[in-house]
Structure 1
């Protein structure tokens, strides 16, 4: 009796050859398939079920396919990887569970790592580590420059990244003075007996690395190696989907911010779509940047600009603000009022930014560089938060009268020589008027009525530029 094959052909090609007594059946047990033509049987150990190992015999496979029995069954770990992980968002969770299932199935995996490169502004890549007894992965990130270190250059991971298809090292009985990579000595001292590394081939030539280590005396048997190798195509598909999702999210967060990136990924991509939100708004601009950029070497200008943005932006992000855009040497940031402390957080980020800028200016003075002056305008109100732009090029940003007021206040800092100006509306919401200095009312371009303005007390007026 036959039953319908439900798995797509592309998946069938991945599934062939990893079989045991815990399997999905595509042919009725009442009419058992003839495996002999395409597989040979072996057992991981005497306490586990036998596994059907694929033969590298295309003729046998073709003959079996003609009989409609290839592949008739697949191993439960492979079945789980392909079908049951579809709703698991994070590759580290999948990797840990896969290793746990391998161990339970009798494959002597005691340690495993997955190495992948990212598109992150701070991190070149990351490593997911699992060891026996761990219920969750240990994730380590690696900054740019690690690829030039001797430790990485001589590592088996780099050998795989450089083009090799397999690295195998027996660890059992390895002398402490053996002339091998230090990783092998560390693993041997930890009681591991065998090590193997393979590439994970993603699309467009992207190459990542997976490694497995055993603690069983004698290390991995060849049937264990064959079993693990047969998992790689499925692990490749599963990992690529998750890593591409991570990279997409990382790139969006880098260029448009965390909240906007989630909105875009959720489908908010239609021009004009958006929501009205209450927010504390901060606009910051560097003074005399045009003259600096005209006179200084390009690399020095970029270094200076990045240092300035670090000083101002790190406190904003640390206190929950979202930097929506950089505008040359300026920036626009908001603190959504959905958080009760939004205004207080913005004010604290300004104070910490001032301290960081003072430290940066002291450092620049030691190098003979000029003092960097800047201005900040702060207001609060409702803004339209969403997609603005042409039909083919959009910007996820905020617009509205409240943004205009913050911009006018920033411009006013040049005239009244105070680096930070805050509207009365903001100070009332922040309940911080007693901490500030009232400067009176000032007319702002485009507004019918003058605006009451406050400044931080005891400020160094030279910072206003």
Structure 2
């Protein structure tokens, strides 16, 4: 590769690799500029480790003439024989380059390169990409050029690593912030926080369907089982709900012990309250089935569980609430308070799903009128509805 063609690419990266579009578009632009400058590159991979409870890392693979492929890898890969014999394992763990020329017998120690060899690849090099925090990420460079990469090609690859690492780290930090916010406050709230809504008092009024649920008998469960077992049970129990909530357009805002608060935004301009509430009810029924099917082994027996969920629809105040520099992005308002009161009524009635009169009017279903109930903090008694299909269960 001609070094004179490399400097404009270095300058472009140092300036932030300003490319309209996604991270994949930026990677494609880097590779195409390098090829145009004379680097005989046929395939490029970049592997970024992530700060995520389930995902070990993300990868982007560029092939000449094709779109960039993106993927994620979970932590289970670390235990696989493929990873143990991968060049990238050495890069991640030792932070050194690993080269595999196809005409070098030593390259046979990496089964991954057998596939490369079958595709006509002549040379492969994996290069560490250290971030400023000390973490090591990786890139891989592949060519079909007869004789493999030249010394000048390798030198050019090494020269580009520092500015490429800085740009990649900036993008990675932004994505890490997004993922952490999604994980801890939800994607809708996370987007608002990243958009600058970080001051106390930043809030909006939103119409939404409200979900408030609670695990029955949790106090007694916590008293008789080890804390570690209780945490594991809660994780499985919340899995039964979160999957259904997110799958039907909801956002989990908060876990409160064994309680869960979620919202399903309603577009007031479209007027889709009926459609949204129908999805909420479907999520509640799916969650009910999942919780009923949950059987957790404790010693020689299996623990079974029941929960209650109250559904309401109304206006909420959605935004930053807290004291000092410790804020919470959540929702408050009479509608949330009513949902919390209804959930307690569900427990008294032995019902899994109860809804407010407003929710029942918005969602056409075979409802059973359960009567009017005085609600603390509300001047009028509230009418409560349950599913006609549901048989009440009196908790012992």
Same fold (TM over 0.5): yes
Q: Say whether residues 1:371 and 2:304 are aligned partners.
A: yes
Q: Say whether residues 1:154 and 2:88 are aligned partners.
A: no
Scaled by the length of structure 2, the TM-score of the pair is: 0.93
| 2-structure distance, mates of 1:402, 1:378 | 10
When residues 173 and 217 of structure 1 are mapped into structure 2, their CA distance, relative to the original with a 3 A threshold, is farther
Q: Which moved more, 1:252-261 or 1:408-417?
A: 408-417
| 2-structure distance, mates of 1:181, 1:94 | 30
Task: Please list the CA deviations of residues 21-54 of structure 1 after superposition, one character each: whole Å capped at 9, or x if unmatched.
Answer: xxxxxxxxxxxxxxxxxxxxxxx3xxxxx434xx
Q: Say whether residues 1:83 and 2:15 are aligned partners.
A: yes
When residues 146 and 324 of structure 1 are mapped into structure 2, their CA distance, relative to the original with a 3 A threshold, is same
When residues 173 and 201 of structure 1 are mapped into structure 2, their CA distance, relative to the original with a 3 A threshold, is closer
| 2-structure distance, mates of 1:153, 1:370 | 39
Q: Which moved more, 1:378-387 or 1:137-146?
A: 137-146
When residues 205 and 398 of structure 1 are mapped into structure 2, their CA distance, relative to the original with a 3 A threshold, is same
| 2-structure distance, mates of 1:121, 1:345 | 28
- Give the Å deviation of 1:87: 5.7
Q: What are structure 1's unaligned runs of at least 5 residues?
A: 1-43, 45-49, 53-72
- Equivalent position to 1:102, from 18, 34, 38: 34
- Equivalent position to 2:199, from 270, 276, 280: 270
Instruction: Tell me if structure 2 keeps the 8 A contact 1:373–1:462.
Output: no
Scaled by the length of structure 1, the TM-score of the pair is: 0.80
| 1-structure distance, mates of 2:297, 2:335 | 35
- Equivalent position to 1:133, from 65, 68, 74: 65
When residues 459 and 366 of structure 1 are mapped into structure 2, their CA distance, relative to the original with a 3 A threshold, is farther
Q: What are structure 2's unaligned runs of at least 5 residues?
A: none
Q: Say whether residues 1:190 and 2:119 are aligned partners.
A: yes
Instruction: Tell me if structure 2 keeps the 8 A contact 1:373–1:463.
Output: no
Q: Which moved more, 1:303-312 or 1:437-446?
A: 437-446
- Give the Å deviation of 1:365: 9.6
Q: Which structure would you say has the larger RCO, counting Cα contacts within 8 Å and 6 or more residues apart?
A: 2
- Give the Å deviation of 1:222: 0.6
Larger of the two Rg values belongs to structure: 1
Alignment map for 1:51-62 (pairs within 5 Å)? 51-52=3-4
Q: Say whether residues 1:113 and 2:45 are aligned partners.
A: yes
- Give the Å deviation of 1:85: 2.3
Instruction: Tell me if structure 1 keeps the 8 A contact 2:291–2:307.
Output: no
| 2-structure distance, mates of 1:243, 1:103 | 25
Q: Give the match for residue 283 of structure 2.
A: 349
Q: Give the match for residue 453 of structure 1.
A: 384
When residues 464 and 110 of structure 1 are mapped into structure 2, their CA distance, relative to the original with a 3 A threshold, is farther
Task: Please list the CA deviations of residues 81-113 of structure 1 after superposition, one character each: whole Å capped at 9, or x if unmatched.
Answer: 233623656433211221122222221111111
Q: Give the match for residue 201 of structure 1.
A: 130
- Give the Å deviation of 1:384: 0.5
- Give the Å deviation of 1:464: 6.5
Instruction: Tell me if structure 2 keeps the 8 A contact 1:374–1:464.
Output: no
Q: SS where residue 142 of structure 1 aligns?
A: strand
Q: Give the match for residue 407 of structure 1.
A: 340
- Give the Å deviation of 1:409: 0.2
Q: SS where residue 382 of structure 1 aligns?
A: strand
| 2-structure distance, mates of 1:93, 1:373 | 48
- Give the Å deviation of 1:300: 2.1
Instruction: Tell me if structure 2 keeps the 8 A contact 1:372–1:463.
Output: no
Q: Which moved more, 1:336-345 or 1:79-88?
A: 79-88
| 1-structure distance, mates of 2:73, 2:30 | 24
Q: Which moved more, 1:308-317 or 1:93-102?
A: 93-102
Cα-Cα RMSD:
2.1
Q: Say whether residues 1:435 and 2:366 are aligned partners.
A: yes
| 1-structure distance, mates of 2:116, 2:62 | 13
| 1-structure distance, mates of 2:338, 2:99 | 65
Instruction: Tell me if structure 2 keeps the 8 A contact 1:198–1:209.
Output: yes
Q: SS where residue 137 of structure 2 aligns?
A: strand
| 2-structure distance, mates of 1:244, 1:367 | 47
Alignment map for 1:244-255 (pairs within 5 Å)? 244-255=173-184
Q: Say whether residues 1:419 and 2:352 are aligned partners.
A: yes
Alignment map for 1:221-232 (pairs within 5 Å)? 221-232=150-161
Aligned residues: 391
Q: Give the match for residue 393 of structure 2.
A: 462
Q: Give the match for residue 382 of structure 1.
A: 315
